[in-house]
Amino acid sequence: MKNWILANKLYIIGAIIGAVAGYLYWQQIGCSSGTCAITSKPFNSTVYFGTMGAVMFGMFKKATPKSSE
């Protein structure tokens, strides 16, 4: 488990930062009419921004070299 966490730490950090940002976006800006698919509910906004944060931070992960056996 520890190895998996260390191998995916950028994805995890990005997801946490994105989730916090999504919740804050919903809280501060949100959607007053309730018709917005992403920002009308805190769960939707948190999950969406968490996913986007993981994808964005995952872009900075270095590729591991393949062994030639």
Model pLDDT for residues 43-65, shown as the tens digit of each residue: 999 999 999 999 999 988 777 77
Q: Are 15 and 53 in contact (CB under 8 A)?
A: yes
- Helix, strand, coil content of the chain in percent (nearest 5): 60, 0, 40
Whole domain around residue 18: which residue ranges?
Answer: 2-58
Dist. CA 15–CA 61, nearest whole Å: 14
Q: What is the pTM of this model?
A: 0.81
Q: Please check whether residue 67 lies inside any domain of the structure.
A: no
pLDDT > 70? residue 68: no
Q: Please check whether residue 40 lies inside any domain of the structure.
A: yes
Q: Please check whether residue 22 lies inside any domain of the structure.
A: yes
Q: Please check whether residue 65 lies inside any domain of the structure.
A: no
Dist. CA 49–CA 23, nearest whole Å: 8
Dist. CA 35–CA 68, nearest whole Å: 53
| The total number of structural domains that make up the chain | 1
Q: Please check whether residue 34 lies inside any domain of the structure.
A: yes
Mean pLDDT of 28-57: 90
